[in-house]
Copies of this chain bind each other. A is one copy, B any other.
């Protein structure tokens, strides 16, 4: 199965299927019908059939989906079976949190370096990985194959750090800095703008309050 035959809308739903399938495996469930998966995921059975039939893994009527097979196919499509060497820029609270984040292992992420601008952090270790100074970054990137950079630096440092990453061939940036990064088309940026998420919550709360206090 080639991923280019699958629409982006389906791709965006795959991580959620991946999560539910892993839970099923943890529970020892070997196969599941679209109806049962529909009840668990609060998605229509017809949507599930449309999405998952891209991946095969279903037998005759009444058998249902083979959980382990589907999980493995979805993992491959998402690239979770590959090794992604990664670095974290910024060893503050969020950098620490992400360095210890178990989700990386599941996604093939392998932490090989942590960088900061604060000299007090130099040589300290997080999860066995030494904190280096930002000025060492260009040389590090030239000598270590690195695919993903996780950006948790304050926004005032983000543009300069991004320029160094791009110059040295970084392909993907997971951006937690509260700023839009200026990168060429061949560099992938995935933003996690926490404050935008919180503002959406604040908006919905305000609307709810208006409706019920009017």
**Residues on A close to B: CB < 8 A?**
3-4, 11-12, 14-16, 18-19, 41-42, 77-80, 82, 84, 93-94, 96-97, 100-101, 103-104, 106-109, 147-148, 171-172, 174, 178, 180, 186, 188, 190, 192-210
Contact of A196 among B15, B77, B93, B178 (CB under 8 A): B15
Give A80 to B199 CA distance when docked, in angstroms. 7
User: Which residue from chain B places its CB closest to the CB of A99 in the assembled complex?
Assistant: B93
For residue A174, which residues in chain B have a CB less than 8 angstroms away from its CB?
A: 197-198, 201
9 residue pairs from A and B, CB less than 8 Å apart: A4-B207, A11-B203, A14-B203, A18-B199, A78-B206, A93-B100, A103-B198, A174-B197, A192-B197
* Inter-subunit contact A15/B79 (CB<8 Å): no
